[in-house]
Structure 1
């Protein structure tokens, strides 16, 4: 059956508006469409393809596991899930892991765990969850309500209650909202969808102190910032603040769907049998691929390489900006970077993204005013240089079309 981009409009619900080209093959940081045109990939499947496309070791992991076991259900455990959980615990603060299929599901589990922990230990009145404006935590009804963008949660009827929002990096406002009724604070240690906003280090430390003061749990949503993306295995490691619960997905599977919630033994014990679950969570196929991806990323050479590649990106982006004067700042850390547009270009991030695509570069937006890059952590330097040359042509096209 021959399908094209126009087939999408005939068969799919219209909640996405995909590009006109249809990718069919990828290798490393390069992708080819139906017509055989080649693109450089700075989008990384939205910070998912942590090792690029079809990494030989991940391909081998899929092939190997696909001939053993695909799925069992959680009536049984399996070796890849146990090995991956042990490796995650060994590499982080955590002692207990819960597996899901996505970041939203990992966040759903984190929020339910926090509420159950508070109920068990303090009673039903300790139910307030505070999150941050412009934050993003997924699209389930609970996680989208906790996310700080009302446009995503409005229009679906009554929302889950006892959820409030504070401005990111505003410790004073947070302190005024918190009390012993606060059950949990949920935050991204680097805001992704909200515009690639880095946290002030004192803010993060202050949030941790406020949580300790009010017996509240600190939940770090590291769905986008985790698994090497910032040059640390998890972003919390570079902030010197340890959360009580951490969620991870996206890059964890290197392109294969998997999510995980990490926590301590003491907190984790509140998810007793029957309190939460997932049919596919922890399936052997996903865990085998994620185990291999984690092994490769959690290596000083790869993590140091992320820092070096960030410097290369910034150097070229600054040169582009010197020429065209379109960016207010280059934000972010590691291989999660955002070009924030100057006021005269506000609302036009998508125009820049589309112009880049026309030059055969795949990139992303983070809101209407920020162009986002989330490439493979092992993208070759020559692909960075060539990709940014293409991006420069896209910038020129937008600027000159004014």
Structure 2
């Protein structure tokens, strides 16, 4: 009986995954069809304009009748109506889900003396994830249509970002089925519709060619710093191409020169995103990730809050792995030691230094390295001093 129940659960999860995958493919097909219809409509419009010009130039002004002209216009109008209907369905689906969510989880509960469900129900991961999975696919098209409208674009980006963090917390089979949607969201931000970057260019295009086609002031190039910052974080969460991630990091580092961006960094709890790139498996981006952490730990009104946000197992586990890994550039270790030195001043972090044997690793580095690098040695000794640990001779 237990075996049958286990098989039933497994088949149910598989069915849900396949249904979600099918829905994603259907949306993608609808979008591709919409693009084709748009091209047909544009082509028909061009033909109609040419025909009208020919009629005007005809001898004696006699109208020239083009065979099948009415049918072509009918097809163009039909394609336009179909595109409008598809867009309306996308917006209606997203709006209906969001309004239902707000009414059920907030408005009704605020006015009901005895709520039908405990408020904790509406904060449960499963409840949130179910609604997130319904809305995210719609946002691909909504972002595409409102890329230049910051008033609409920014809330969409915020919803996408927080949804990605929620999805990370729950590892389910549905997460795999949502990977296509996440990638499409990331691509829509990095390759906006108006840039007209083909699928082939996304895969094999050189950075020079892509940059020429990505000049529109949208998302990463928006005039709004909040949009640029949030777009960079989403790209880092959803895409994997090296040159794309490098540009997202460049945007992030540029923005973090201002205190406003540092405040946004804390608001969006971005430490976990950067910590992911501190792992040895991400060798290409270790240096730039350490640079971001160093920027955030520099003197500012937000330094203390940032350092406290790094006081967790996730960060110290990544830092310990990084310290154990031989790095070709000693400057990366120097910059990391600055961050660790500041973290060592917070008493509650001492247990993390001990649990992940960072103290022992530092002592080994001091014994093995001697005074070859005075700056690094000074920082490592300062870490041990802050932790009240004696330096081994």
Which category describes the TM-score, using the shorter chain as reference length?
under 0.3
Q: Pick 1 or 2: higher relative contact order, CA cutoff 8 A, min separation 6.
A: 1
- The structure having more radius of gyration, on CA atoms, is 2
TM-score, normalization by structure 2: 0.26
Which structure shows the bigger proportion of residues in strand conformation? 1
TM-score where L is the length of structure 1: 0.25
